[in-house]
Amino acid sequence: MKIRLAQAAFVVLLLSIATSLHAQYPGQLLKLDADWEAAFNAGDWDAVAALYTEDAVRYPPEMPPIIGREAIRYDLAHSEGMQISVTVLGGIMGDEVGVSWGSYEITGTQDGQSFLEKGRYMTAVKKMPDGSIKVYRDIWHKAE
């Protein structure tokens, strides 16, 4: 009984923190997602990579992690000719870290064939010393 009460109290605490942070769901997270989408669609891999911390990690589906801004830039450059549409579904921002999540659709041509990929993503961000935020961890998966 005491364990269940403690678990319930913990859930209430998490919900209250998330609710207060959600009230801050901010333009800062929305802007970062919009800047990422615009730079990707422009094929500006330097601009996309600049949105990541130096020690960022991306977790692509069914592949090893991509570690570091330069490796991320190199990997993104293989997306030439693709377009992405991002739908932000939510996010929270604390004093130092935040998270956003949503869905995406990527269209393009690969090996001469048109394709459409749909999926979901979650991005963790860190606040930088200058007050800006950058992507620290990035994970996504294809929708079935």
pLDDT digits (tens, 9 = 90+) for 106-128: 999 877 889 899 999 999 999 99
Per-residue pLDDT at 7: 53
8 Å CB contact between 85 and 117: no
Give residue 73's domain range: 26-142
Q: Is residue 88 part of a domain?
A: yes
**What average pLDDT score do residues 41-58 get?**
98
Tokens 């997602």 belong to: 33
Average pLDDT, the chain: 86
Q: Name the 3-class secondary structure at 110.
A: strand
Say how far apart CA 94 and CA 105 lie, in whole Å: 28
- Do 72 and 66 meet the contact criterion of CB atoms below 8 Å apart? yes
Residue 90 one-letter amino acid: G
Answer yes or no: is 14 within a domain: no
Quote the distance between the C-alpha of residue 73 and its chain's center.
15
Q: Is 34 a member of any domain?
A: yes
Q: How confident is the model at residue 10 (pLDDT cuts 50, 70, 90)?
A: very low
pLDDT of residue 24: 45
d(CA 107, CA 83) in angstroms, rounded, equals: 5
Q: Is residue 37 situated within a structural domain?
A: yes
Structural domains in the chain (count): 1
Q: The domain that contains 103 carries what CATH number?
A: 3.10.450.50
Q: Does any domain span residue 60?
A: yes
Q: Is residue 11 part of a domain?
A: no
Q: How confident is the model at residue 2 (pLDDT cuts 50, 70, 90)?
A: low
List the 133-142 sheet strands across, edge first.
66-67, 52-59, 133-142, 113-127, 97-110, 83-93
Task: Tell me if 3 is assigned to some domain.
Answer: no
Claim: this prediction has a pTM higher than 0.75: yes
Q: Enumerate residues 6+ apart whose C-beta is below 8 A from 56.
A: 67, 68, 69, 72, 134, 135, 136, 137, 138
4 located within any domain: no
